[in-house]
C-alpha cells in the first residue's frame, strides 16, 4: 500500500510538472518542463550522494576506527543480501544517520559521532537496519526524483511569474484563451506549494516503509523504537550543522522546532506516530 501511495504521489508530481509547463508555454513549455526534469534528475542520480556527504562533513571511517559499526553493518547487509555500503563518520555531537546513493551497489551510510556514543548495540542495529532498508527499497533514488521534479516545477513557476511581470497580462484574446491572467498567476503561485506537499508526502511514506522494513530485517522493532525515542529527545537539545537538503535524508529531521505548521511541512512523519506504528507491528518469527 505504501508503495502504491508513493507511485501515486510521483505520478501526481509528474502531471503537475507537465501541466504547469503547458499552461506557461503550450506544447513547447511542456517540452521545456520535461527536459528540465530530465536534466535535474540526471544530476541528482549521479551526484546527490557526493553532495550529501560533502555538505554534512562526513569522512570515510575504517574497520579499525569503527569496529562496532562495521560489525553491525556487515551482519545486517548479509542478512538482507545487500553489498556492504561505504561507511562514513560525521564529527558532530547530534545523534543522527542517513543513507545515500543511487542503488545498493553505490550506497553509502553516514552516522554521527554522537549517535555512536548514544546508542547501545540493539539500538544501533535498529538505526542501521532502517538505513539499509532505504538502500534496498531505492528510497534515495525515489526521493531524488521527487525533489528534482518539485524543483523543476518551482523553477518554471518562477520563470512564469517573471514572464507575466515583464510581459504583461496579455491581450483580451489571450486572457480568454488561457482562462484569465489572474487564474494563471494563482496557478504559478500555488503549483510550487502543491509540488512541495507532494514531495513531502513521498518522503514520509518512505520513512514509514523504512521503519517497518528495518524492524522486519532485525526481527523485532524494540531497538529501533528505543533509538527513535532517544533521537527525538536529543534532537531537541543538540543542533546539527547540516544543509536542509541533506537533513531530509536523516533518520530523524535535525533542528526540529515546535513552531506552528512544522508537521505539515516536515520531511519526516511525527516521531510519536512512527513509534506507535512500530509498537503495533506483529513480526512472525523466522524459521
Q: Using one digit for the tens of pLDDT, what is the confidence trace for 121-143?
A: 999 999 999 999 999 988 876 76
Catalytic (active site) residue 65:
no
SS3 percent helix, strand, coil of the chain, rounded to 5, is 70, 5, 25
Residue 10 Cα distances to 14, 45, 201, 210, 273, angstroms:
6, 16, 10, 18, 23
- CA-to-CA distance for 20 and 194, rounded, in angstroms? 11
Q: pTM higher than 0.85 for the full model?
A: no
Pairing assessment for the beta strands 59-60 and 108-112 based on DSSP bridges:
unpaired
**pLDDT value of residue 169:** 43
The cell numbers describing 201, all together, are 508526502
- CA-to-CA distance for 122 and 222, rounded, in angstroms? 8
Instruction: Quote the crossing angle between the two packed helices 139-167 and 2-56, to the nearest 10°.
Output: 80
Neighbours of 7 (CB within 10 A): 13
- Look at residues 19, 274, 22, 39 and name the one whose alpha carbon lies nearest to residue 148: 39
Q: Which residues of 218-249 are buried (b: 16+ CB within 10 A; e: fewer)?
A: bebbebbbbbbebbbebbeebebebeeebbbb
The cell numbers describing 272, all together, are 510519536
Cβ contact 88:57 at 8 Å: no
Cβ contact 211:132 at 8 Å: no
- CA-to-CA distance for 5 and 117, rounded, in angstroms? 36
User: Alpha-carbon torsion 219, 225, 226, 231, what sign?
Assistant: positive
Catalytic residue (one of 74, 123, 125, 131)? 131
Cβ contact 175:199 at 8 Å: no
> Cell 515583464 sits at which residue?
166
User: Alpha-carbon torsion 256, 262, 268, 273, what sign?
Assistant: positive
| β-sheet with 86-90: strand ranges across | 59-60, 86-90, 108-112, 97-100
- CA-to-CA distance for 15 and 136, rounded, in angstroms? 27
**pLDDT value of residue 19:** 64
pLDDT string in tens for the chain (287-residue length): 545 555 555 566 666 666 666 665 666 666 666 676 667 666 766 777 888 899 899 999 999 999 999 999 999 999 999 999 999 999 999 999 999 988 899 999 999 999 999 999 999 999 999 999 999 988 876 766 666 666 666 666 666 655 555 554 444 445 444 444 555 555 566 666 666 666 677 778 889 999 999 999 999 999 999 999 999 999 878 888 887 778 878 999 886 444 334 555 677 889 999 999 999 998 766 54
Amino acid at each position: 500500500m505504501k508503495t502504491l501511495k508513493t507511485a501515486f504521489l510521483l505520478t501526481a508530481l509528474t502531471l503537475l510538472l507537465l501541466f504547469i509547463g503547458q499552461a506557461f508555454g503550450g506544447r513547447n513549455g511542456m517540452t521545456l518542463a520535461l527536459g528540465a526534469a530530465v536534466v535535474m534528475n540526471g544530476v541528482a542520480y549521479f551526484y546527490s550522494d557526493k553532495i550529501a556527504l560533502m555538505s554534512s562533513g562526513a569522512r570515510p571511517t575504517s574497520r579499525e576506527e569503527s569496529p562496532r559499526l562495521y560489525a553491525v553493518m556487515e551482519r545486517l547487509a548479509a542478512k538482507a543480501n545487500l553489498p556492504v555500503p561505504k561507511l562514513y563518520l560525521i564529527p558532530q555531537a547530534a545523534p543522527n544517520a542517513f543513507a545515500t546513493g543511487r542503488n545498493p551497489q553505490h550506497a553509502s551510510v553516514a552516522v554521527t559521532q554522537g549517535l555512536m556514543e548514544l546508542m547501545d548495540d540493539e539500538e544501533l542495529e535498529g538505526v542501521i537496519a532502517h538505513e539499509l532498508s532505504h538502500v534496498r527499497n531505492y528510497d534515495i533514488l525515489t526521493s531524488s526524483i521527487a525533489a528534482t521534479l518539485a524543483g523543476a516545477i518551482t523553477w518554471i513557476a518562477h520563470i512564469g511569474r517573471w514572464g507575466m511581470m515583464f510581459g504583461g497580462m496579455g491581450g483580451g484574446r489571450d486572457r480568454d484563451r488561457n482562462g484569465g491572467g489572474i487564474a494563471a498567476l494563482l496557478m504559478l503561485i500555488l503549483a510550487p506549494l502543491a509540488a512541495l506537499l507532494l514531495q513531502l508526502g513521498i518522503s514520509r511514506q518512505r520513512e514509514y516503509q523504512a521503519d517497518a522494513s528495518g524492524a522486519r530485517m532485525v526481527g523485532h522493532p524494540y531497538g529501533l523504537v528505543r533509538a527513535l525515542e532517544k533521537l527525538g529527545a536529543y534532537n531537541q537539545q543538540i543542533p546539527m550543522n547540516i544543509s536542509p537538503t541533506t537533513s531530509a535524508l536523516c533518520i530523524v529531521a535535525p533542528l526540529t522546532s515546535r513552531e506552528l505548521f512544522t508537521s505539515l511541512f516536515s520531511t519526516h512523519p511525527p516521531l510519536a506516530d512512527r513509534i506507535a506504528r512500530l509498537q503495533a507491528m506483529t513480526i512472525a518469527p523466522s524459521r
